[in-house]
Structure formats: C-alpha cells, structure tokens
Amino acid sequence: MKNVTVVGTGYVGMSLAVLLARDHKVTALDIDAGRVELVNNRRSPIYDAEIDRFFTSETLTLNATTSSETAYTDADFIVVATPTNYDPERNYFDTSTVEHVVRDAFAQNDKALIVIKSTIPVGFTAKLRAELNTDRVVFSPEFLREGQALKDNLYPSRIIVGGEHPRAAEFGTVLLEAAQNSPQVLFTGETEAEAIKLFANTYLAMRVAYFNELDTYAAMHGLDSQSIINGVSLDPRIGEGYNNPSFGYGGYCLPKDTKQLLANYDQVPQNLIHAIIEANATRKDFIAEDILRRNPKRVGVYRLVMKAGSDNFRESAIQGVMKRVKAKGVEMIVYEPELTEDTFFRSPVYRDLEAFKRDADVIIANRRTEALDDVAAKVYTRDLFGDS
C-alpha cells in the first residue's frame, strides 16, 4: 500500500483519488474547505455517477484536507491535478497553480515522486525540472470524458508516464493495477508525454470539426447528412468515433488544448492546427445563421452543459451560438436547472421546463432528448445519432 496525495478535486483529481483509494492510502488536498468536507462525507464535488457508486459501495481509504503539511509529509506519490485554463492574452496555459503545488510539494517532501496530471504546454515539465534541479517531477497525461472520469480511469485506453526518474515505472504499475482492463503502458520522455496529450485532443477536435463541416455542406445543399456520414464512417480506416454533428466542440479540454498546441507551433510551419480552431468558430456562425433563417421571435436554449451527464458550462458550443443569435437582437430564454442565477447573458433562466417549452417558439439543443419530444416541431438540433 502506497501513500498517495492527489492535489485538486476536479474531474482528474477526484476520479484518480477514488480509483486509487481502494488499494492505497489516499489524501485529497484542496484549498476549498467546502469540497474537502464533501469528500470526507463521501459526497462527490463533481458530477460522476461512478464516483457516487464507489462512495456508497466501495471501501475507500480516502481522506481530504486543506493542509498541505498533512497531505505531503508521508506521501510516496504526489499527483498534481489542478486546473490550467488557457490565457488568451498570454497565448499560454495558466500554469501558476501547477507551479505553486510542485514547488510546495518539492520543498515539503524530499522523497516523493511528483506526478503532474494537469494539462500543460509542451516543454513545461522539463523547464520546471531544470529550475528545481531534480528528476522527481514527471508528467502522466489523462484521457477522460466529462461525467465518466472514473469509468475512463477504470478502463483506460492507455497509460502513459513521461519522465526519467526510476519510480516513474512504479507509478505506471500503480495505475495499471487499479485498471479493470489491460491497457498498454507506455513510458516516454516527459516532453513527448505532454505532446501526446495535446495532439490526441486536437485530433479529436479535428474529427468533430470535420464531420460538422460535412454536415454544414449537406445542410446547405439539401442532402441527407446522416446517409453521407454513415457511408463515410463504414470505411474501417475512418470508423464511427466522433462523427455525430453538433454545434461545435467545447468543454474543459478541446478548446484550450487546441489553442495551446497552436501556441506551441510558434516558429513551426503549420496550416491544419489553425484551421481546426477556425472551423469551430465557422460552425457556430453557420448554426446561428441557420437558426435566424427561421425568423424566431424568442429562442429557447435547452441546457448550457456540453452533454448529458455533465455539469460543465465551460466553453460549451451552445453558448457560442447563443451569443451570435442574441447579437442579432433576438430575445432568448435559457433552461438550465444547474444555474443558481436568474439570468444568463442578460437572458432569463427558467427552471420550469414546461413553462420554457411554452414560451419559446424555437428551442436549440446541442443533443436530442426525450424531454423535448412533445415539442419536436420547435426543436433545432444537428444531432443525427442521439449520442453524446
């Protein structure tokens, strides 16, 4: 049994803490006392059905604290899973929390392997290691879906650990033993591991953008988009993943990771990475224009979250569409039960679904839902396959 400290109780940190707490002694460290209390009361601070199930049915050696001294002192592994939002002014991830945690952990514990799980720019770990003159800092990317983070940690597509420290392999073994499948474990340099994360997510963004542009073409030429996508996807080299049209890619990872990768291409020739980002904006322009062609008087926005099973509003594509439609002077209302505010972008927020359906003459929904079946004639969506 290892002593593992996980810093941060977001999707990455919480899912990893719960995963490892079945076989190891895990301490979750967070500056938010409210989130710490939730964890200690076996209530998840994030929406994840599998985490809720583990809290009620699994025996977990898990404690949460706001004290870094308590968290770091006896740790064998310190996993950094704090957020790194993209700063458009600096054209760079805001890595300040990661840097602070790594330096603090390094100062308080002279033996633990420090594993960065936060998404960071290519070259960040090597730079930080050089500044600290240590090889005790490694990078291990995560590949998680919102609302299914623990499931994706239980059944990972692959496990990657980047770094030269001898205990990097030991950490990879800890993750492998916690998995319910048999994923391939890949050990790389820390910079290569950082690149794997950003290139993987940018490829997924490219898939979303590609099928969205296919759908835009079909819509503007009066073609059956679903038939075209089905025919294209039957090629085994292409497959069916990420082929369901949407209002655009969004959420925690894809928008910021694509922008960070583009920033890392400074002085490197490229066309495609920039085009992926531009394609996402163009798709939202098309969706907004397509909605406006219906001459709506009051447009209802059904849910601001990225998809069912998520509580994340961050950069959801529907918000981009909402801003564009609203800019044309169209009245808008929002149905979002997760919001506590009474307005969103100066539009009224409804919590009564029936009243919302009654008051909107067009309802935009990034994904189809049975909740809107009785007003299907009002619903505008590009969802063809009914999946997330």
Q: Which residues are catalytic?
A: 253
Q: How far is CA 29 from CA 40, 159, 295, 317, 320, in A?
A: 11, 23, 51, 32, 34
AA identity, residue 1: M
Rounded Cα–Cα distance for residues 200 and 170 (Å)? 25
Q: Which of 339, 298, 340 is nearest to 322 (CA)?
A: 298
Burial code (b: 16+ CB inside 10 Å, e: under 16) for 267-297 equals eeeeeebeebbebbebbbebbbebbeeeebe
Give the three-state DSSP class for 349: strand
Asked whether the beta carbons of 313 and 304 are under 8 A apart, the reply is yes
Q: How many CB atoms lie within 10 A of CB 80?
A: 27
| Distance of alpha carbon 137 from the chain centroid | 24
The strand pair at 86-87 and 77-80 is best described as unpaired
| Distance of alpha carbon 352 from the chain centroid | 28
